[in-house]
Amino acid sequence: MAKSGPTGSSAINFAIRTDEELCASAKSERSVPAIFPSHIISEEGDRGRGFHMAGNLISETVGAWRSVLSFLADRRRSRAATREFWAMGRDECTGILNDIGLSRSEFDDAMRLPYASEDLLSSAMRSVGIDPDSFQSLQAAHCFMSRTCITCLHRRQCHGHLAAFDFESHYQDFCPNSVNFADLLVDGRSQSMAGKAC
């Protein structure tokens, strides 16, 4: 006679033990859910890494494209400012350039620098606590600071710090007008003290 399988409560206990053994075996073989075959898990991981790499590449490409657009927009503004300047008349323009010590060729070279159409000097003065409209500031700017700023090779760095509102913490590392700023700050304090004494 053929052997019969477990019956009654022994059959239930047998089924429970069998299920527990199968679960333990499955856990020991792999730590991922059984509904995801191992080769699928591997492919999903590779695909995730691929998406991450693609995302980085897209981000870098977008960043580079924005830099190009910013550069082109800046060049357009500089060309427009140059046209507007010379539209005032040759004699008047030559007089302005002579006042700040720039030749026409130096002016043309300066207008090819980054952010050439922007008045970075006034913004820089305000950032370090100098009133650009004070007599001392206007006199200094008229004499030599404007020329220094207009021909500065660090205008992109300057613009970046001004935009980030941290120019006052970094300008001494690169700005050729930093000593002039210091002098104006000392003069401003001296004027303030003299005013209080009166």
pLDDT tens per residue, range 104-117: 999 999 999 999 99
Cα 38 from Cα 31, distance rounded (Å)? 10
When mean pLDDT is compared across 4-8, 21-25, 31-35, 71-75, the lowest value belongs to: 31-35
- Predicted structure pTM score: 0.63
| Residue/partner pairs of 129-132 with CB below 8 Å, 24 or more apart | 129/168, 129/185, 129/188, 130/181, 130/184, 130/185, 130/188, 131/188
The stretch 126-134 carries a mean pLDDT of 93
pLDDT digits (tens, 9 = 90+) for 151-169: 999 999 999 999 999 999 9
Cα 166 from Cα 173, distance rounded (Å)? 12
